[in-house]
Amino acid sequence: MELRVLQYFLAVAREQSISAAAASLHLSQPTLSTQMKALEEELGKPLLIRGVKGSRKIALTEEGMILRKRAEEILTLVRRTESEITRADEAVVGDVYIGSGETDIVRFFARAAKSIRMRCPDIRFHISSGNAEYVLESLDRGLIDFGLVFGGFDARKYDALPLPVRDVWGVLMRRDAPLAEKEAVCAEDLWDKPLVISHQRSDDPLLRRWLRREVNRLNIVATYNLVFNASLLVEEGLGYALCLDGLINTRGGSLCFRPCLPRLEAPAWVVWKRYPAFSKAASAFLERLREILDPSAAAPAAPKGDM
């Protein structure tokens, strides 16, 4: 499978048309059609659904959607590799890729990035947002250099730098909700309430111990990926959202946040793959981040186990 053919396939997926993709690639339509048929024969699977609903549009089969995702990742890695190699003998330039959830802790990244750019203005930073599953999957595939995670992680796969702050768990709710009258929320308060929880946290051992209930015994009405969407569900009265503090601005709005009682904190870590092949830019970022975080401060031992 050639990179050139993957680029052709992505053009067809993007344009939803062989003729439009051929025009964008400066190829003839028969040539591109032949390339796509050869790709399907090579993989032994149909990738394109031609003539969708009687039109000339093209859709992707299930196998085609898998190939599109993988092709985008492959070509992204190729571009990154080419850029890092061609710049290897230059000054510290390049790109740093970071994956993170929604948290005010990202300010640490911003401080390190600003400091580095004062000395190396050609370094660029790319922060992609997603939940813990997304961050670790992106790390494993080499799509990002660093990830921000909370709680536990597999210390056999990742090196880590602890952050000197902890995010606080609690409940996001409407100001007119019955529990809003309390200063903090106990587990028993939630046992009979409709809950909105992060889907990758449904089996979090820390949260489960605090709740003292198995997830299947709770009234979970919805799960979320990013907390902004959960806040909209809460605002519309669907339920109470378990989340970290500071992610949604509740000042003067219709929502409020109440911490868990007893207090439930989530330790934060910057993680990266063991034995990484860091670019100069990524190495400089990590070095500056270590300096900002004060390595003399006491750090907890790295946790083991899944997030």
The two three-digit tokens of residue 202, written as one number: 């449904």
Q: How far apart are CA 89 and CA 87, in angstroms?
A: 6
> Dihedral of the CA atoms 15, 125, 298, 305 (nearest 10)?
10
* Least confident segment among 1-15, 197-211, 256-270: 197-211
Provide the CA 293 distance to its chain's centre, in angstroms.
23
Highest mean pLDDT pick, 83-87, 171-175, 195-199, 270-274? 171-175
Highest mean pLDDT pick, 14-18, 54-58, 83-87? 14-18
* Least confident segment among 40-49, 147-156, 195-204: 195-204
Model confidence at 86, pLDDT cuts 50, 70, 90, reads low
Give the model's pLDDT for residue 219: 94
Q: How far apart are CA 28 and CA 31, in angstroms?
A: 5
Task: Kindly report the pTM of this predicted structure.
Answer: 0.61
Is the model's pLDDT at 84 over the cut of 80?
Answer: no
Is the model's pLDDT at 80 over the cut of 90?
Answer: no
Q: How far from 208 is each of 8, 91, 125, 266, CA to CA, in Å?
A: 48, 49, 36, 13
User: What single string gives the DSSP state of each residue in 120-146?
Assistant: -TTEEEEEEE--HHHHHHHHHTTS-SE
Percentage of the residues of the chain whose pLDDT score is greater than 70: 89
Give the model's pLDDT for residue 293: 82
Give the model's pLDDT for residue 125: 94
Q: How far apart are CA 254 and CA 175, in angstroms?
A: 6
Model confidence at 238, pLDDT cuts 50, 70, 90, reads very high
Give the model's pLDDT for residue 249: 84
Is the model's pLDDT at 210 over the cut of 70?
Answer: yes
Percentage of the residues of the chain whose pLDDT score is greater than 90: 32
Helix (H) or strand (E) holding 164: strand 158-174
Task: Tell me the average pLDDT of the chain.
Answer: 85
Over residues 248-265, the pLDDT tens digits come to: 888 888 999 999 999 998
Overall average pLDDT of the 71-88 stretch: 74
Decide: 103 and 149 in contact? Cβ < 8 Å: no
Give the model's pLDDT for residue 298: 39
Helix (H) or strand (E) holding 170: strand 158-174
Q: How far from 154 is each of 149, 157, 223, 265, 307, CA to CA, in Å?
A: 11, 6, 24, 19, 8
- Angle between helical axes of 62-86 and 3-15 (0-180°, round to 10): 130
Is the model's pLDDT at 22 over the cut of 70?
Answer: yes
Over residues 130-188, the pLDDT tens digits come to: 777 888 888 888 889 999 988 778 888 899 998 888 888 999 999 999 999 999 999 99
Over residues 267-303, the pLDDT tens digits come to: 889 999 887 778 888 988 998 898 888 645 434 444 4
Is the model's pLDDT at 305 over the cut of 50?
Answer: no
